[in-house]
Structure 1
Amino acid sequence: MIEYLKLVVDLVGHLAWPIVVAGALLYFKKDVAKLLQRIKKAKYGDIEIDLAEAIDEVKGDAIELGITIAYPSSSFSASDLELVQTAPEWAFLQSWQNIENILITQGSDGKRQPITKLVRQLQSSEKIDSGLADLILKMYRLRNEIVHVSGIDLTKAEAMEWLGVSKSISDRLNQKLA
């Protein structure tokens, strides 16, 4: 009889924490779901990205290059601001499209070629410096990660900073490639 009681005590001791954790998760499931949506780390196939870290790296590089990352909201079009409010990830894509259009129309010889190759050609011809080239390529990779990894929740502040960096890079490209 004592062996059975000892067995019950051991079972209760080992099962208590998992039951408490499962109960807490069930009780707070809405809050946990919201928290999980805010996670900025994702895995797609063999690729694992930390989006918050990648965005911070792009911002840090932009600041080092003297690129403005914060603009008043009046500097952006109404459609850009609406995108930030309704779908921040689309603001990332739209602003990248502007950079890509500048690279293709002003930086290439008319042939369609990969962005990476185009940026490296502009760098080797000294139309843009290596810092700007590296920043553009980081933004390109980050844009691709945002497109290909589902369930990433971007904040409005991150989208506004991205718009600021994109605007500065677009202005700088227009100036250097004109």
Structure 2
Amino acid sequence: MTDLTGKTVAMLATDGFEQSELTEPKHRLEALGAKVDVVALDGQDSIRGWDKKDWGESVKVDRQLGKANAGDYDALVLPGGVINPDHLRREAAAVAFVKAFAADDKPVAAICHGPWMLAETGLAKGRRLTSWSSLKTDLTNAGGRWEDSEVVVDGKLITSRNPDDIPAFSKAIADALAS
């Protein structure tokens, strides 16, 4: 069993994140000993998930983006949901936060619609990745090499397609943190 004691993970999200894509990887990483902070936009003390076809539960925000520093974390996770990543990719501070992880050569993991941020930041260019199938054209146009796999690991970039892939997605994040 992987021991992630002493590792810290940021999960960047806002209202409309896919419930399971934030809560399940968070619980899995915490069960292995990692400290996981939910990072959201300034002014948000909690964010509300989207649970399949309707609004889900709220999740407490641990740190607002304006006070978050990529240097304080070992990895970044970007949950999906259509609303969440579409909003975040229009926020300059969120884009800069993601770019800082890549610049520091830290793992960046995105699931479902989360890889929209990889297109926005330029991180998809020249990389193998996957996502929710409707993003295939967006990611290909951003220079990525899209494939239909439950998890794709290309260096420190980890991507998955949907909630069914969460076990493989979480394991890949844990493996990246442990190496």
Normalising by structure 2, what TM-score?
A: 0.27
Normalising by structure 1, what TM-score?
A: 0.27
Structure with bigger gyration radius:
1
Higher strand share: 2
RCO comparison, higher one (Cα < 8 Å, 6+): 1
Higher helix share: 1
